[in-house]
Amino acid sequence: SQQGEEDPQALSIQEGENATMNCSYKTSINNLQWYRQNSGRGLVHLILIRSNEREKHSGRLRVTLDTSKKSSSLLITASRAADTASYFCATGRAGSYQLTFGKGTKLSVIP
């Protein structure tokens, strides 16, 4: 079963608006990562947040992690049409090198 579950499943916003995607997971994690996928092909790593971190920034991306609620959010500020893609969270558990991915949020940014 999927460890991470993103919501919403799909999100459509106007260019310039902020986009927020959420991820919930079930078991204890070592870290949580966000990936982006264009056109159903290869994934691109965006950001990694460790279990002892609460917030992390990278450019227009802001990720938060709440281990008590087993949830994370990805905020993309000042969205652009080029941000249109699917976004996945992936969790890593101690004792395993596997990453477990959620089903993703499909973001559409309308110019």
Partner 1 sequence: GAGVSQSPSNKVTEKGKDVELRCDPISGHTALYWYRQSLGQGLEFLIYFQGNSAPDKSGLPSDRFSAERTGGSVSTLTIQRTQQEDSAVYLCASSLVAGLRETQYFGPGTRLLVL
List residues near partner 1 by CB under 8 A.
Answer: 2, 4, 30-31, 33, 35, 40-45, 48, 50, 88, 90, 92-94, 96-104
CB 100 to partner 1: min, Å: 7
Q: Residues with Cβ < 8 Å from 8, sequence gap 6 or more?
A: 21, 22, 105
CB 56 to partner 1: min, Å: 13
Instruction: Name the residue nearer to partner 1 (CB basis): 19 or 104.
Output: 104
